[in-house]
Amino acid sequence: MKIGWRQVLIGVFGVPALALLVGWSGLIGVGASSGHWAVTDWFLHWVMRNSVRTAALSVTAPPLDDPALLPPAAGHYEIGCAMCHGSPVRDPVAVVPHMLPAPPDLAPVISTWTDEQLFQIVRHGVRFTGMPAWPTQVRPDEVWAMVAFLRALPNLDAARYYELSGLYQPPMEGEVDDLPLTCESCHSQRRLTSHSIVPSLAGRSEAYLLESLKAYANGQRASGIMQVAIGSLTEDTFAELARYYASQQRSQRTEVSAETELVDRGRSIAENGRAKDKIPACLSCHEKPGANPVYPKLAGLSQPYIERQLKLFVEGVRGGTSYSHLMLEVAKNLEEDDIAAVAAYFAQRDN
């Protein structure tokens, strides 16, 4: 059959007009109670899987076998994900089965996705579902930590889940039991080691802690984990938290094993800087008696944490206090070896 211009025009204008008419009529139901037709459910999931597979082709997963990745991700999962997907210690909230589509139990389906595909889903979310994007798009390091946790999730029993997430631990002597769960579940000193990517807050400047919490709240310092953790807190609570952690005495530093040569190189940069590369001495601001209290104390922070923060400065995505722009300028001239050396030096420094 020969198709003429009349048929083409009808197709070009008539089909969209008919679709608009059907949409305007209200005949297409949008209620979640009726569910999808089987073919609709299949088609939506088929499109979703194909979309994620294609988007993940440009992603390469880093090594995810570092145990330090799991605790912060586990804490975030408990407060941001378990309400819909459940966990080894609790079922999803009662309303979840009535969502369309209902969020799946993740343990049986994790193995059907690659690490790169999980990264794509966690970072960008899924349209037309309740799956949100990661709260900030400039912290892929946090998303990879969540991928590492999801990969471990199917094999976690309740005890291990409690251990990783820091949930419901009774306070030890000197600790308080009325801090928000999301603070002590990650920052309790008994949970931190020399390999932690979560910082020790004990004994840090009250001014710095307060300004950092405000920066997380208003988006000046990007962290999907922290933005969710403090999302329900008020500025009055920020002040209380800053005062509490600043008053804590830091636990005895866990012995840090770092190469002497690396530490010595870091000491040289910290004490003298490197003028030819426009790198000032770290100790001209940090740890300096009488210095601006908004400059953070670095001594005793873990080497992985310091390295991660310096790399964020190098990438230009690390915000924070009103003085963070100073570090953005310094970081432009830091090499990867410099970062490792400075982190190793401050991790073993006592004060």
Residue 245 falls inside a structural domain: no
pLDDT tens digits along 91-120: 999 999 999 999 999 999 999 999 999 999
Q: What is the mean pLDDT of residues 47-55?
A: 97
The total domain count for the chain is 2
Domain boundary among 121, 143, 163: 163
Residue 266 falls inside a structural domain: yes
Band of residue 234 on the pLDDT scale cut at 50, 70, 90: confident
Say if residue 156 is in the same domain as residue 267: no
Q: What is the CATH number of the domain that holds 318?
A: 1.10.760.10
Question: What residues make up the domain containing 135?
Answer: 39-163
Band of residue 232 on the pLDDT scale cut at 50, 70, 90: confident
Q: What is the CATH number of the domain that holds 58?
A: 1.10.760
CA distance 83 to 195: 29
Band of residue 14 on the pLDDT scale cut at 50, 70, 90: confident
Residue 230 falls inside a structural domain: no
Residue pair 270/179 in contact by the 8 Å Cβ criterion: no
Measure CA of the first residue to CA of the last residue in the chain; give whole Å: 87
Domain boundary among 134, 163, 192: 163
Residue 89 falls inside a structural domain: yes
Residue 171 falls inside a structural domain: no
Alpha carbons within 13 A on the beta-carbon side of 3: 5
Band of residue 235 on the pLDDT scale cut at 50, 70, 90: confident
Residue 250 falls inside a structural domain: no
Which three-class secondary structure state does DSSP give residue 87? strand
Band of residue 170 on the pLDDT scale cut at 50, 70, 90: low
In which residue are the tokens 């880093």 written? 62
Residue 117 falls inside a structural domain: yes
Domain boundary among 137, 163, 189: 163
Residue 34 falls inside a structural domain: no
Alpha carbons within 13 A on the beta-carbon side of 225: 26
